[in-house]
């Protein structure tokens, strides 16, 4: 099992961000592939259930892409969207019916025959590990799904699910802005069980670059600036190298729609931060000296 050095996130490419046209998607996909990036991260709900379909239009027009692209998608969040569904509120569903229906819809929307990584997007408090296991194994046998994982699952939720089905990946929120995974046991559990760790919002969703920052963000910005000077690189590269330098092998899921920023992120994976600098950024994030 392997990922590209960074994973290309699609959440902000459509109506939740850059509002790409079909030609924008096509150019963006080609440019990512030219950089050696073939992992693209989707979810059924992105763009209010529209981004997969927009992205898939390019694959339907260019079937050659099917063998070059590796797709992750997610299900289990039921998001009310006027005119698309009649969910009365946002809730989670990891039942056999929802998983099967969602995978079929994603395959149809994306214009592919198989999904490389299917993830449960958020922990469902009604989770039945046996039901998930039977469902995912049937999808694997049918060739619709290759690998399986979760997103935002805690250590105990992963452990329960792992008792019935092997997990290949956990996609968690990890960044200087959100370092909880280093403390709450989720990262250690992934290391112990050889579950790949991917990090969403690796730049804190852009919050870290705010021009009118709160006190904590200001502290992070100052430290990042200092380190960018020391390592002779850009500030966003410091934030990304904070993830890639860590020995757990964390792979960032990027959110930018700009190819120049993706190129810069790729270079960041080569920057190796010293241990004391890594801790200095953690200190700036938590706002106090470690014990």
Ligand X SMILES: NC(=O)c1ccc[n+]([C@@H]2O[C@H](COP(=O)([O-])OP(=O)(O)OC[C@H]3O[C@@H](n4cnc5c(N)ncnc54)[C@H](OP(=O)(O)O)[C@@H]3O)[C@@H](O)[C@H]2O)c1
Give the catalytic positions in this structure. 46
46 token code pair: 């992105």
Report the residue from 254, 266, 273, 284 that binds ligand X according to the rule CB under 6 A. Answer: 254
What crossing angle do the helices spanning 155-162 and 129-141 adopt, rounded to 10°?
A: 60
Decide: is 227 part of the binding site for ligand X (CB under 6 A).
no
Decide: is 10 part of the binding site for ligand X (CB under 6 A).
yes
Decide: is 37 part of the binding site for ligand X (CB under 6 A).
no
- 128-167 positions binding ligand X, by CB under 6 A: 151-152
Cα–Cα dist 87/119, whole Å = 21
- 233-252 positions binding ligand X, by CB under 6 A: 236
Instruction: Please identify, among the stretches 106-114, 134-142, 205-213, 281-289, the one whose residues bind ligand X according to the rule CB under 6 A.
Output: 205-213
Name the minimum Å distance from CB 156 to ligand X. 18
Decide: is 25 part of the binding site for ligand X (CB under 6 A).
no
Angle at 52 between CA 51 and CA 53, to 5 degrees: 90
Name the minimum Å distance from CB 268 to ligand X. 11
Decide: is 258 part of the binding site for ligand X (CB under 6 A).
yes
Name the minimum Å distance from CB 9 to ligand X. 2
Cα–Cα dist 291/289, whole Å = 6
Decide: is 206 part of the binding site for ligand X (CB under 6 A).
yes
Cα–Cα dist 202/186, whole Å = 17
Instruction: Please identify, among the stretches 79-87, 178-186, 202-210, 211-219, the one whose residues bind ligand X according to the rule CB under 6 A.
Output: 202-210
Decide: is 263 part of the binding site for ligand X (CB under 6 A).
no
Decide: is 70 part of the binding site for ligand X (CB under 6 A).
no
Report the residue from 51, 201, 217, 237 that binds ligand X according to the rule CB under 6 A. Answer: 201
Decide: is 256 part of the binding site for ligand X (CB under 6 A).
yes
Report the residue from 3, 6, 12, 181 that binds ligand X according to the rule CB under 6 A. Answer: 12
Report the residue from 91, 209, 231, 278 that binds ligand X according to the rule CB under 6 A. Answer: 209
Decide: is 171 part of the binding site for ligand X (CB under 6 A).
yes
Residues that bind ligand X (CB under 6 A): 9-12, 41, 121, 151-152, 171, 200-206, 209, 236, 253-258, 261
């Amino acid at each position: 099992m392997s990922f590209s050095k960074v994973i290309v996130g699609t959440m902000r490419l459509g109506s939740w961000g850059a509002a790409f046209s079909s030609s924008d998607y096509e150019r963006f996909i080609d440019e990512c592939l030219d950089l050696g990036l073939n992992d693209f991260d989707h979810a059924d709900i992105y763009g209010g259930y529209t981004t997969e379909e927009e992205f898939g239009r390019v694959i339907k027009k260019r079937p050659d892409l099917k063998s070059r692209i590796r797709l992750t998608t997610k299900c289990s969040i039921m998001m009310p969207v006027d005119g698309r569904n009649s969910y009365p509120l946002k809730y989670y569903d990891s039942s056999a019916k929802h998983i099967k229906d969602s995978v079929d819809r994603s395959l149809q929307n994306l214009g592919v025959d198989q999904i490389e990584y299917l993830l449960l997007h958020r922990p469902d408090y009604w989770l039945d590990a046996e039901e998930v296991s039977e469902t995912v194994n049937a999808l694997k046998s049918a060739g619709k799904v290759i690998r399986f994982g979760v997103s935002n699952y805690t250590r105990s939720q992963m452990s329960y699910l792992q008792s019935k089905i092997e997990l290949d990946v956990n996609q968690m929120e990890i960044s200087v802005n959100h370092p909880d995974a280093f403390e709450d046991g989720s990262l250690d559990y992934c290391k112990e069980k050889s579950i790949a760790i991917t990090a969403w919002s690796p730049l804190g969703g852009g919050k870290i670059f705010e021009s009118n920052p709160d006190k904590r963000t200001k502290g992070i910005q100052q430290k990042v600036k200092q380190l960018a000077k020391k390592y002779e690189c850009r500030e966003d590269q410091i934030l990304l190298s904070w993830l890639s330098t860590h020995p757990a092998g964390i792979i960032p899921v990027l959110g930018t729609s700009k190819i120049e920023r993706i190129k810069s992120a790729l270079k960041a994976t080569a920057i190796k931060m010293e241990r004391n600098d890594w801790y200095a950024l953690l200190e700036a994030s938590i706002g106090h000296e470690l014990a």
